[in-house]
Structure 1
């Protein structure tokens, strides 16, 4: 599948600073490249950044099938089409699962792997409320405020609703619609199950950036991280949840700066 993306070319005011190479960002479930503008612009100080829309998200095509394996194949095609060599791959949540699966099945391709707040294991599809909040008919709604009020019946968290609404668009006829393939994602409820069922290991330098208060990471995950990724480092942002690139952005960018500055 040909994926849509936003390119942020390498630009640095220091003439002595050379590019570390290309950087690819993979967003999480219900996200898109739009969620990563600030991070992508920051990372363009180190190299050219490709912020990708994965299948069924953003401006990329919709498909009936949605799996980590297929998204990894989409990424392989993207890297080949854009002639990208030895990239740094940053993946958050679903994007992190895709990034880890890609690295484990494509040894020697990546220069570095950065995984945000997810572990190489199975996860339940615990997003019924989010799906319901995007499944009611939008005909007759004339404003985002009206839609938000209806969504609040299913998702009380304002932050999550605003995150979801980054995929809400209004066409030239004034009608609202979701850029997400909501129905397709709803039918992919096993997307996070039984992904890492092989014995392959990776020596790719890997950084796990974790939220200290995240519900996605448990103590036993550290062992499974070590099991698959033999050359890894783990950094936890105290008090952070699943969206540390938003909620703890200053610390998050500081850690990325330190990590990428060490790459020659």
Structure 2
């Protein structure tokens, strides 16, 4: 699948991949900063944003979408940076199509299976009645019980569009709901990726634990680990300067 993208800048290609329920727009400020020295391609993964919908959401398929898109644009090999689910897509791409990945940055995710903590978010979004007079405040109230954190509700509601034809989600919610067990996991891929890898954890996040380091190094033997200070899971949004202070030197190294 060719993916929708936002492109900025010139130079060596860099790809940014969002997490579950995200879109290319999540990377706006980061893309602007990094595009000063690079050609930065920010993709909507399948079933997200303006990219196509498909029942398959396994990581091999999503990685192949990225490879197909980069090759069509003449942007391979590229540095690839992925957050959360996008980080798993980036790891799958490096493991299955290593010649497409010049170097890899994985933001706050490990190649392991996580608990089904986010399925209630999908169900809550599916349950919002998309009536013609729906307002953003109404939708926020409808999500409040399942998603008590206001910041997370605001993030999810970035996907709700109002306008001609009535309100609609810019997500393939049915496809995502059915694929949640696959999204939560990470498959076994043969081989490993020998290129350079930076793994970033949020200081206040529990997504990357010391116990995960052995698994990461088994797949990515050159992995370096660093922590974004003061950040939770959304490392690039919660501390963009701390995030960039780690990413930019890694991208610049020969």
| Whole-Å separation in 2 of the counterparts to 1:168 and 1:90 | 26
Q: Which of 149, 164, 170 is the matching residue for 2:156?
A: 164
SS in 1 for 2:26: helix
Q: 1:85 to 1:128 in 2, by over 3 A?
A: closer
Shift, 1:28, TM fit = 0.6
| Whole-Å separation in 2 of the counterparts to 1:129 and 1:190 | 13
Using the size of structure 2 for normalisation, the TM-score is 0.94
How many equivalent pairs are there? 253
Alignment pair present for 1:88 and 2:79? yes
Alignment pair present for 1:153 and 2:139? no
| Whole-Å separation in 2 of the counterparts to 1:57 and 1:124 | 22
Q: Which of 116, 135, 138 is the matching residue for 1:125?
A: 116
Shift, 1:124, TM fit = 3.2
Alignment pair present for 1:138 and 2:102? no
Once the two structures are superposed, residues 130-188 of structure 1 have per-residue CA deviations (whole angstroms, 9 ceiling, x without a partner) of 11221122114432112111111221111111111111111324x21100011110011
SS in 1 for 2:71: helix
SS in 2 for 1:135: helix
SS in 2 for 1:187: helix
SS in 1 for 2:181: coil
The residue that corresponds to 1:220 in the other structure is 211
Shift, 1:229, TM fit = 0.6
Matches within 5 A, 1:36-115: 36-115=27-106
Once the two structures are superposed, residues 74-95 of structure 1 have per-residue CA deviations (whole angstroms, 9 ceiling, x without a partner) of 1121112111122110011111
Q: What stretches of structure 1 move > 6 A for 4+ residues in a row?
A: none
SS in 2 for 1:115: strand
Q: Is the 8 A contact 2:9 2:37 kept in 1?
A: no
Q: Which of 228, 247, 252 is the matching residue for 2:238?
A: 247
Q: Is the 8 A contact 1:34 1:166 kept in 2?
A: no
SS in 2 for 1:122: coil
Shift, 1:241, TM fit = 1.3
The residue that corresponds to 1:8 in the other structure is 8
Alignment pair present for 1:183 and 2:170? no
Once the two structures are superposed, residues 44-71 of structure 1 have per-residue CA deviations (whole angstroms, 9 ceiling, x without a partner) of 0221111000000000011122111110
Once the two structures are superposed, residues 217-244 of structure 1 have per-residue CA deviations (whole angstroms, 9 ceiling, x without a partner) of 2221111111111111110123321101
Greater Cα shift, 191-200 or 99-108: 191-200
| Whole-Å separation in 1 of the counterparts to 2:189 and 2:57 | 20
| Whole-Å separation in 2 of the counterparts to 1:121 and 1:105 | 17
Unaligned stretches of 5+ residues in structure 2: none
